[in-house]
Amino acid sequence: MMNTETVATPRKPNEENGSARSADWDNPRVASILSAAAKCFARKGFTATTLAEIGKELGLRKSIVHYYFASKAALIHEVQSFTYHRYLDKLKEATRNGDGTQQQATDALRALWEAIQNNKTGTGLNIEVWSAARRDPELKRRASGLQRDARQVIRDAIAPLAHKDPNRAEALAALILAVLNGLSVTEYLEGEDAKVREGYETFLELLRVGSSS
């Protein structure tokens, strides 16, 4: 039987940035398959994972997975968008009722980091996607679109730190995303949770001090 655990579904991606979805994320079965695929890809790698193993994760036959996704390649295209936008929705939620202060912007960035740390699957999946994207131009295009989506959300969140300067906000968003990606990979490879968290807090403090000058 299908795992009936509730799966939170993110909002629709920004289609103009090349990250348009083709699957119905609001369908509970589709959302469950995407979540299971993310775990399998992160655990065993894209090449070693089969559709049958993804189905087994949920107690489903391979044919049911294949009904919703024509191939494993189609699935990894969709699963990264699905997983990535769950993280971005965490940041949007943290800034939705913000008061426009630097402290609120810093708290929003902490919320995004917490979302990344609470789901180690996402980092492993990103590593697999980045590797597969070298051989798949469409996957690379979609992954690039997701990075642009992330920079846009971060740019909006850190507006107070950029003193409402669009160019400065864009540069800071690119820097913050690079730090988030780098620290999450470091933690994934080395398992130094406390040191990585300390590094991120140090980065936020430097960001706050630099924005105050």
- The per-residue pLDDT for range 110-166, each reduced to its tens digit, is 888 887 777 777 788 888 888 888 888 988 888 888 889 889 888 888 888 887 788
SS3 133: coil
The reported pTM is: 0.74
Please report the pLDDT score of residue 8 as a whole number: 40
Mean pLDDT of 193-213: 86
HEC letters along 136-196? CHHHHHHHHHHHHHHHHHHHHHCHHHHCCCHHHHHHHHHHHHHHHHHHHHHHHHHCCHHHH
Q: Greater confidence, 182 or 4? A: 182
Q: What is the mean pLDDT of the chain?
A: 81
Residue-range domains of the chain with CATH: 80-212 (1.10.357)
Q: Greater confidence, 211 or 198? A: 198
List the single range of 4-8, 124-128, 170-174 with lowest mean pLDDT. Answer: 4-8
> DSSP character for 167?
H
* Percent of the chain residues topping a pLDDT of 70: 85
Mean pLDDT of 153-182: 87
* Percent of the chain residues topping a pLDDT of 90: 22
| Gap between the Cα atoms of 62 and 4, Å rounded | 18
